[in-house]
Structure 1
Amino acid sequence: MIERADVMVGPRGRRLCLEIAAALARASGAPEGDEYLRAALVAAYHLDPGAGTARVILRASADEPDEPDPSPRPADVARLLSATPLDGLDADVLLVGLRAAVDNARYWQEPDGEDVLAATPQVRAALARVAATVASSGRAAWWVSPVERTAQASVVFDDPASPVQPSDETASVILSRWRDRTLEEEARAQRERPADPGAAWSGTWWSTPPRELTRTTRRLGAHGPVGLWLVEDAYGWDRASVRAVDVPAEARVYEVDGAEAWSGLCRRFPLEVTASRRHDWFRTTGAADRWVIPDWVRVADEFDAVHVTVTGYLTTAGRPVPVGEDTSSVLAGWSPDETYWLADPPPAAEPHERWRRVDDDTWHDEGMHDRGGGLRAGAG
């Protein structure tokens, strides 16, 4: 069972609650909901590091002031949120909230205004009511479950320009090359990059295994695989191939169901990446620690796959996870319910499916005659 604290402890979980509150406020049509939405928008704008440059507020007409006056404070947003109805939470709204929380994860720069707003003490306290509503919903029960061994599917988006494409090479070859390149990058970063974590420098920011490996998620009935919907650092793809993947009964899967599980993996199989990650991870977390990630070559000696549960993602992603004295890690680049296969899983016999996104929000199986089964993101 998911706990309220699980939803609130990490930045992605708090963003989930903020997005769910917004979706329910829009769907309610109540004046309180509209007032909350306006206040949250303006307050987040003023808290955003890109306010006035990368992010602006557009006026509806030339007669309106550039910004509402006075600007709402986090305490005002919290007060309005507390009065906003939370009726109508269903599976669609939960997926909409998850999708927005994942879409807005960014580990190469400072958190955006909404993430900052959700972390303020006043709004964080008000979001606890949303977290309690989510935790009590039976529709979120699968968020805590381990890898679904009977219904795994890989998703490959149509993107010939992508630098990372699925590979026909064995997992061991891919992992060995990844480790060599990671060590080379770290050594080069030690020589060439400044030690000041606040320096304007960026590079590799993710902590996933190599992306050429097979990645799978469970299916959500007619909505298709989770991997169609929840993808960090996505590029707005509108077509994808989906193929079922058979999970051997004896497969050894490490479950990342929270920060302690991620910390344990890093502590057991550490690979230092301080020089190559320090600038990006300082910007996103504010921490200037020694940084490590799992050495996936060594992990593969003991496990066939690593799965991040939805709860594991919400509690862990984007925050500094203590590993040892002055040593931390960040779960970055992972997506909820994602499994990376460190061994080569046998593909299922079924031919691949073709899926298409319609109106930017709805995925459909192109091989199905009934087009009414897709999920429309944003439905209240």
Structure 2
Amino acid sequence: MDSSPSASRVAELLLAGPRGRRLLLEYALASELAQHPVRSEDSFGQAVIYAAHWLDPDVIGGRALRMQSAFGWFDSLFGDVAAELDIPEVTATEVAERLGAVELLEPTPVVLRNALVAAVDSARYWQEPDGADILASTPEMSGALQRVAHHITAPPHTTWWCTPVDISAQYALQWEDILPKTVPDDVHAALLTARRRERAEEHIARTERDPDPTANWSGEWGSHPPLTLPSSTRLLGDGSPAGLWLVEDSLGWEQAVSVELIVPKGMSVFEIENAADWAKLCARFPIEVTAQKRHDWFRTTGRAGRWVVPDWVQVAEHYDGVHLQVGAYLGAAGVAIPVDDSTGTASVIAGWNPDETYWFSSDIAYDQEHIQWVLVDAGADMVWKPAST
């Protein structure tokens, strides 16, 4: 396979973060299912289901498990009926051994997209990682997943994961039942309003919430810019916006409208290429969110301490937008990213879809032409198609 620095860099990012490792797991599952559609008891896929079951915090807590994959739903109800189910205890070592025997599919845009969709959709920042994420993070799985990472990262299909925003082709989405966004006349005022709300939430959280990070509290766990601001993604090879596919914790939307975002040349965009870039952004423009984030982010990262996010008011004074590259998302989303060791602060990239750019300028505009998209059954997959076709 290609050993160029770009391929090595993508592989390194995939292995570094929970979303990247989940993508590798999903790719391996797809490879086995493509060759063996009927899953046997000694298959890799069945081993993943069993091992993920016993590692899942929900199952350990006696609740129901529903493990999602881009290649099918695996539903097993536990809790009250757990005693009636004979679930084998499969170790991560056994899973890794079975993965080693899986013949991996050659990378294609569709297979890679499906694995990426599954990794993004299964993200969660308000509770512990699920069993599949925990399984993929075990030392026993490291070597087996490395094989998958180096197999899939040869150009050209994954090269775009680590490329900057292309301002000449950016597309925004309007989802069904959600009010369309507008470009604020005064972006600075909109950002100030959002910052006042965040500071008020922090004050309330300090006053009312238990400072113990293990306490049963939850709140606003995202760290992206205000959702009222315009955001956009690129087009994929099939002509569909990446944002149609790459949605964290999706709500099952089946319709959307895309519109091109007209971005003037010369816009200054901060590129988040990796965890270090996010740390720099937080260190340069910090706003503390410890009280409002500590419970959710402790559950998702296991870290207790001070938390900060970027102050988007300050960021917007220097940049017209911020772009989260897919590679950075796969390598760093959901991870406790150190920001300042001297003050014990860290941050989390949470709730921000990969390849999404948020814009801080009133000089951008929405085009007049809209495209209606619908999610349709294409046999093996559900795919987004223009409504006219």
| TM-score, length of structure 2 as denominator length | 0.88
CA contact (8 A) 2:172 2:231 kept: yes
CA contact (8 A) 1:284 1:318 kept: yes
**Where does residue 148 of structure 1 map in the other structure?**
166
Instruction: Give the Cα separation in 2 of the matches to 1:47 and 1:211.
Output: 34
Q: How far did residue 249 of structure 1 move?
A: 1.2
Q: 1:48 to 1:147 in 2, by over 3 A?
A: same
CA contact (8 A) 1:14 1:124 kept: no
**Where does residue 54 of structure 1 map in the other structure?**
64
One-letter amino acid of the counterpart of residue 322, structure 2: V
**Where does residue 72 of structure 2 map in the other structure?**
none
Instruction: Give the Cα separation in 2 of the matches to 1:53 and 1:304.
Output: 45
Q: CA RMSD in A?
A: 2.1
**Where does residue 66 of structure 1 map in the other structure?**
85
CA contact (8 A) 1:32 1:80 kept: no
CA contact (8 A) 1:270 1:295 kept: yes
**Where does residue 377 of structure 1 map in the other structure?**
none
**Where does residue 10 of structure 1 map in the other structure?**
17
**Where does residue 68 of structure 2 map in the other structure?**
none
Q: Deviations over 1:197-248 (max 9, x none)?
A: 0101000100011101101000014341000000113211111111001221
Say which of 174, 184, 197 aligns to 1:169.
184
CA contact (8 A) 1:321 1:329 kept: yes
Q: Deviations over 1:318-365 (max 9, x none)?
A: 000010021100000111100001112432544111111113821111
CA contact (8 A) 2:64 2:77 kept: no
CA contact (8 A) 2:174 2:258 kept: yes
**Where does residue 365 of structure 1 map in the other structure?**
386
Instruction: Give the Cα separation in 2 of the matches to 1:345 and 1:15.
Output: 38
Q: 1:99 to 1:30 in 2, by over 3 A?
A: closer
Superposed, which structure 2 residues align to 1:287-298 within 5 Å? Answer: 287-298=303-314
Q: Deviations over 1:257-284 (max 9, x none)?
A: 0000000000000000000000000000
Mean alpha-carbon deviation: is it higher for 172-181 or for 30-39? 30-39
Instruction: Give the Cα separation in 2 of the matches to 1:315 and 1:72.
Output: 27
Q: Deviations over 1:4-34 (max 9, x none)?
A: 2111001111011011111111112288987
CA contact (8 A) 2:184 2:362 kept: no
Superposed, which structure 2 residues align to 1:321-340 within 5 Å? Answer: 321-325=337-341, 326-340=344-358
**Where does residue 376 of structure 1 map in the other structure?**
none
**Where does residue 21 of structure 1 map in the other structure?**
28
Structure 2 stretches of 5 or more lacking a match? 1-5, 66-74
CA contact (8 A) 1:159 1:237 kept: no
Q: How far did residue 250 of structure 1 move?
A: 1.0
Q: 1:212 to 1:81 in 2, by over 3 A?
A: same
- Counterpart of 2:43 in 1: which secondary structure? helix
Q: Deviations over 1:266-323 (max 9, x none)?
A: 0000000000000000000000121000000000000000001110111110000010
Aligned length in residues: 361
Q: Deviations over 1:27-62 (max 9, x none)?
A: 122889870000011100110011141217259xx9
Instruction: Give the Cα separation in 2 of the matches to 1:113 and 1:302.
Output: 41
Superposed, which structure 2 residues align to 1:221-232 within 5 Å? Answer: 221-232=237-248
Q: Which has the larger strand fraction?
A: 2
One-letter amino acid of the counterpart of residue 63, structure 2: T
- Counterpart of 1:159 in 2: which secondary structure? coil
**Where does residue 86 of structure 1 map in the other structure?**
104
Instruction: Give the Cα separation in 2 of the matches to 1:30 and 1:246.
Output: 45
One-letter amino acid of the counterpart of residue 177, structure 2: D
Instruction: Give the Cα separation in 2 of the matches to 1:35 and 1:251.
Output: 51
- Counterpart of 2:297 in 1: which secondary structure? helix
One-letter amino acid of the counterpart of residue 123, structure 2: A
Instruction: Give the Cα separation in 2 of the matches to 1:214 and 1:85.
Output: 43
**Where does residue 70 of structure 2 map in the other structure?**
none
Instruction: Give the Cα separation in 1 of the matches to 2:145 and 2:322.
Output: 31
Instruction: Give the Cα separation in 1 of the matches to 2:205 and 2:367.
Output: 45
| TM-score, length of structure 1 as denominator length | 0.90
1:119 aligns with 2:137: yes
Mean alpha-carbon deviation: is it higher for 4-13 or for 256-265? 4-13
**Where does residue 362 of structure 2 map in the other structure?**
344
Instruction: Give the Cα separation in 1 of the matches to 2:86 and 2:191.
Output: 51
Q: 1:208 to 1:195 in 2, by over 3 A?
A: same
CA contact (8 A) 2:225 2:358 kept: yes
Instruction: Give the Cα separation in 2 of the matches to 1:140 and 1:263.
Output: 24
